[in-house]
Structure 1
Amino acid sequence: MDSTGTLSSLSISEDGEYAAQLNGKDLTIHLNPTLPEFQDVNIVKVKESASKFLKFSRPNSPSSVLSNKDDTVSDRRILWASDTRILVWQLNPLQLHAEIESVEPGATNIDFGGDQNEIIVFHAWNTKLTVFGMDTGRSQVVKTPKFSHSNGFGYRPNKRQFAILLKPDAADLLTIHEFRSYALIGRAVLPTVDAQGLKWSPDGRWIAVWDAASTGTKVLIFTADGQLFRTYTGLPDSDPVFDLGVKGVEWSPLDGRTGKSELLAVAMVDGNVDLLKTNTVSVPPDDSLTRLTNQFTCSVSLSHMFNIDNSPSIWRERCIDGRIEYAEASGSSAFSTTEASGPPRGLSIMTFSPDASLLATVDQTRPNIVWIWTLKSRPNLISALVNEHAVRQIIWHLSNTELLLTTANNVVAAVRYWAPDCEPKIIQIPIPQSETGRYDIRWVVSDQSDHSKFWFGTSEDYAVGSLSAEDGIPHFEVVNSLSTKTL
C-alpha cells in the first residue's frame, strides 16, 4: 500500500485460472491469463480507492476444475471490499452481481463463504461474524468468533456445514451449523485452555482441534456433528516434563482407493511429527490372533534430528559463475553448519503430496531446509534440500507428484523444483527483483500437461509459464506476465 492508502496489487485465484489487477479505482480482470491468446480482459470501476480485500470465489471442487473449466467459469465471482462497502461481480459474463453497503468499519476478514452466493464478514475486534446471502438478501450472525483467520473456522468438504471456534467468555466453544441456514447442529464446550485452531478432514468425517502448546500435547477429534470422539495426548511412553506441545496439524489428502483421509499429521513444538492413523487397523501377529489398534493413535513419529544411517538424497544450493543450482552433498557437510541456536520452535511448513505418499516439512530451527519423507510401508527421510535462505512457501501440484518452493531471497527471483527420481532444479524467473525477497508461487490447477503451468511473482509483478529445458539447461518459459506498473 502506498502513502496515499491506495491499494495497487495483483490477485491470482486459488486455482490459478484467473487474475485481477487493482490500481486505484480501476479493476482489471483477466479471464484466461494462462492461455497464449490472453484476450479476455475487462475493466470495471470500483467506488473507492481505499481497498482492503480482493478475492476470487473458490471452485466448487478440485475435480470440477480438473475435468472441465467451462462448467465452472459461469459460477465464479470476484469480491472487492473497502472498509464500508462490498462489491461482487460474476466473471462470465462480467457484470455487477451484488453490492453490500454500510458495512461496519474495521473488518478483519471478508471472503466468500460456503459457496459463491455467500459473503462472510468478521467484524472489528472479532465481536461477531455476519454471513450475507446474496441470493436471498438475508444475513446471519454468529457472535464472538475466536479468530478471523482460516484456522478459526471451516466448511465441511462437499456438504459445507460450518464449524467455528468461539470465545464468549473463559471457555472455548466449538459450534457446527447447517449450510445456508446456519442453524445449530452441534455445540461443544472444549476441554482446552486456549484452543489454537480447527481443521476438517478432507473426507468431512472429522474435525481436529488443537490446544495451546503450553498445555502439552492435546489434539481433540470430533465427529462431523460435534461429538468428542478421541483425545490425543502424545506417545504412551512420553515424559510430560519434556512435552512441549503442539504447533499445528494437517490432514492427508483423500486416498484414491478408500475415499478417506488416512492420516492426521501432528506437528510438535520439539520438531517431531506424529502420524496418527484415522482408521482402526487389523494387525495379525500370527495365523490365529488379530490385534486391533485404535483410531488416532500414533503409528510413527518423524524426527528432524538428522540420522546419517537413513542415507537420504541431500542437495545443497550453490552458486557457480553467477548461476545458482543444487549439488549433491553428504549429510555431514550439508547439516553441520545449519543448526540454529536457541530452543526448538516446531514446524513452520508441513504439506502432503496429492497421493499422500510423501510429506514435505520445514523445521523452524533450520528454516532453510526442506525435508521430504516417504510415508509408504516404512516412513523415512528420502531427500532434503538445503538452501541459502529461509524457505517461504512449498506447494505440491494437485494431481502430479511435483513440488515447488520459494525462499526469502532478495537477490535472485527463482523457483526450486523437486520431483521423485530426478535431480532438483533451481530456475530463475524473468520478473523484476523484489527488494523483500517475498515471491509467491501457485500451480494452475487445471493444467495436467507434461509441463504444468504455475504462477510466480509478487503483489506487483507476476509471470505464468512452465519449466522446460534447452541444451539440458532448465529455464522458465513465460506464457504471460502481469504488472501493476503497466496499468
Structure 2
Amino acid sequence: MELSTGGGGALSLSVADDGLYAAHINGKDLIVYSEPTSEHKETQTARVKETGVRVLKFCPKRSSNSGRYLLSANEARISVWQLDPLQLFAEIENIEPGSLSVEFGSDEHEVLVFHAWNTKVSIHSLETGRISVIKSPKSAHHLGFGYRPRTKQLAILLKPEATDVLTIHEPKSYDLVNRAVLSTIDAQGLKWSPDGRWIAVWDTASSGTKVLIFTADGQLFRTYTGRSAEDAAYDLGVKQIEWSLPNPTGESEVLAVGKVNGTIDLLRTRTFSCSTTLTHSFSADTSSPSIWRERFTSAMGDADYAETSSSSAFNMSPESSGPLRGVSSMTFSPGGTYLATVDSMRSNVVWIWAMGTTPRLESALVHEQPVRQIAWHRSAHQLLINTISNTLPAVRCWSPHTQPIIVRVPTKKNDNGKYEVKWLSGSNQKSEFWFGSTEEFVVGYLSTDDDGLCHFEVLNSMTNRGYGSHAGSLSR
C-alpha cells in the first residue's frame, strides 16, 4: 500500500508489503511505526533535509536475516533509511529534475531512477557507488520491468527506436544476458512467473490477443494468439495478465490472460495453450454457484450479504456506461486454489473461481458500488473486498464454506469513499489487517462473539499524532 506523501496535515501512509511497518511524512518529520499489533508498539522519528517528499517506499523484506529499509525522495535528493533504529543509511544527491519514478532495485542496496522522457534508467549501488545505465526504457511503470524471483536477473522493456525490445541483465553488474526484438506493436508490460521460469509480455489490445512467453534467459518459447476457434474479427485483445502463485511443488501452473471482451483464457504452463475460458456471466441453471447480494440493513449504512438468484444478481448489475472495458482485476489465492476477478463492465461484482482440473465459478458477490480493491490473505483462503462507499467505513470478507460478511470498521469516514486494506504477514490465527484512508488507519482483526455476530477488534489506530488508543470494536 503506497499512498501519496504530501507534507500537509492529512495522514498519508506508506505500509510495508508485510504490513509490519508504516511511515508518513509530516512537514520535515519522517515518522515510522512498527509492531502495529503489539502492546509494545513503537514510533520513531527522524528529520528529512527538505520538504516536498513525493516518494516514500519500503524495501520488501526478502529473508529473515535482512534488515529493513525505507526510501524517501524529492526532486533533488534520494534518502535511504535503515530501520531498527531509524537512521540515515545512504543518500543520492543532484538527481536530474523531472525523474519519473524512484524504486528500490534488486535489494535494499540498489536504487533505480527513471529519468525524464524515459531517456534512461540509472541503477545506483549503495555498496560500491557504481551507477549502471540502461538507455531507452519503455516505461517507468512497474509493469515495464521486473526482477526474477530469487536470482534477481532484471528483465526490462526498451523502446530505442520503432520496435519494442526485451533485455535480460545479470544481477549487480547489469551486464547484458540477452536481447530480443519483439514482434509487438506496442508491448504493454511484462511479468515474471513467481517460480522464476518464465517471462510473459503482452501486446496492445488493438493488435488482438498476443502474449509472448520467454524463458528466463530471454529465449522466445511460445506466442499465444488466442483460442484456435476464436474469430479474429471479434478478438478485442488483452487487458492484463496474472500468474498463479506457486503450488506445493513450487511451480506456477497457470497464466491467466484477461481480455478486453471480459473473458479470461487460462493457459497451462506446460504447453501455454488455452485449457479453459472463463466468462463473466450468471448462469440460470439449477447448479449455479452461491451468489450473494449486498443489502443495507439500516439508515446508518450498515449492510450484510443475502443469498440471491443468478437472475436477480444479473438485474442489479448494470453494464458500465464508461469507456473502460475488460477484466480490471485478477488475483490468485495462495497456491492458486482460487482466482478472484472483477470485470469493468460490471465493476460492482467480485467473481470467485475454483481452480483445479476443471475451473468453475465458486461464488459471486454483488455490491451497490464499484469494487475498489480485492486482496487475498498471504497463506489462508480469505479475501478482503473494498468498495467505493461514502457511507460507513466497512470491510467485506469472503472465505469458502462460510457466509460472506460485511463488518463496520471504527475509523474516520472518508468523504470520497476510498479506503485501503493490507494484510499483515505471519501465521497468527487472528489474521490482522490494516484498514483506513488518508485521515486515519486502524489495525485489527475480525472476531465472532457468542451470539454469532462478527466484530472488528481494533488493536491500534494511527493518525498524525502517532499511535492512538485501542478503540474497541464495532459489530456487523
TM-score by length of 2: 0.93
User: Does 1:52 find its partner at 2:54?
Assistant: yes
Question: 2:179 is matched with which residue: 187, 200, 219?
Answer: 187
Amino acid at match of 1:209: V
Choose from 329, 338, 343 the match for 2:308: 329
> What is the match of residue 283 of structure 2?
307
1:425 matched to which residue of 2? 405
Structure 1 counterpart of 2:255: 264
Counterparts of 1:191 and 1:7, CA distance in 2? 47
1:26 equivalent among 26, 29, 37:
29
Aligned ranges for residues 20-419 of structure 1 at < 5 Å? 20-38=23-41, 40-60=42-62, 64=63, 71-72=64-65, 75-256=67-248, 258-279=249-270, 295-309=271-285, 310-321=287-298, 322=300, 323-340=302-319, 345-419=325-399
Q: Secondary structure at the match of 2:117?
A: helix
| Counterpart residue identity of residue 240, structure 1 | A
Q: d(CA) in 2 for partners of 1:88 and 1:2?
A: 16
SS of structure 2 residue aligned to 1:182: coil
Q: How many residues align?
A: 459
Q: Deviations over 1:218-275 (max 9, x none)?
A: 000001111110000000111000000000110000111x211000000011111000
SS in 2 for 1:148: coil
Give the whole-Å Cα distance in 2 for the aligned partners of 1:263 and 1:486. 43
Aligned counterparts of 2:297 and 2:262: Cα–Cα separation in 1 = 33
Other structure's SS at 2:346 match: coil
> For residue 284 of structure 2, what is the amino acid of its counterpart?
I
Q: Indicate the residue corresponding to 1:288 in structure 2.
A: none
- CA distance in 1 between counterparts of 2:357 and 2:203 reads 30
How far did 1:486 drift? 5.9
Distance 1:30 1:449 in 2: 20
Shift of 1:339: 2.8
What secondary structure sits across from 1:395 in the alignment? strand
Kept after mapping to 1: 8 A contact 2:153/2:168 = yes
**Cα distance between partner residues in 1 of 2:170 and 2:38:** 39
Unaligned runs of 5+ in 2: 468-476
Percent of aligned positions with the same letter in both sequences?
53
Structure 1 unaligned spans of 5+: 65-70, 280-294
Q: 1:6 to 1:167 in 2, by over 3 A?
A: farther
- Asked if the contact 1:7/1:22 (under 8 Å) is kept, the reply is no
Measure how far apart 1:2 and its partner are.
Answer: 10
Q: Which one-letter code corresponds to 2:311 in the other structure?
A: S
Q: What do the CA deviations read for 1:9-32 (whole angstroms, capped 9, x no partner)?
A: 221111101011210100111121
Per-residue CA distance 1:62-87 (angstroms, 9 max, x = gap) = xx4xxxxxx34x61101110110011
Deviation at 1:170, TM superposition (A): 0.7
Query: What is the alpha-carbon distance in structure 1 between the residues aligned to residue 405 and residue 139 of structure 2?
Result: 39
Classify the secondary structure of the residue corresponding to 2:143. Answer: helix
What residue identity is the alignment partner of 1:26?
D
- How far apart, in 1, do the equivalents of 2:165 and 2:232 lie? 26
For residues 188 and 5 of structure 1, the distance between their equivalents in structure 2, rounded to whole angstroms, comes to: 46
Amino acid aligned to 1:317: E
How far, CA to CA, are the matches of 1:4 and 1:379 in structure 2? Answer: 48
Code of the residue aligned with 2:255 in structure 1: it is L
Separation in 2, partners of 1:266, 1:29:
39
TM-score, normalised to structure 1's length?
0.91
Contact 2:13 2:24 (8 Å CA) reproduced: yes
Task: Output the CA distance in 2 between the equivalents of 1:441 and 1:420.
Answer: 20
Query: Which structure 2 residues correspond to residues 437-476 of structure 1 after superposition, within 5 A?
Result: 437-446=417-426, 448-470=427-449, 471-476=451-456
Higher alpha-carbon deviation: 315-324 or 188-197: 315-324
Instruction: Work out whether residues 6 and 51 of structure 1, in 8 Å CA contact, stay in contact via their aligned partners in 2.
Output: no
Give 3-state SS (helix, strand or coil) of 1:241's partner: helix
2:17 counterpart (9, 14, 18): 14
Query: For residue 159 of structure 1, what is the amino acid of its counterpart?
Result: T
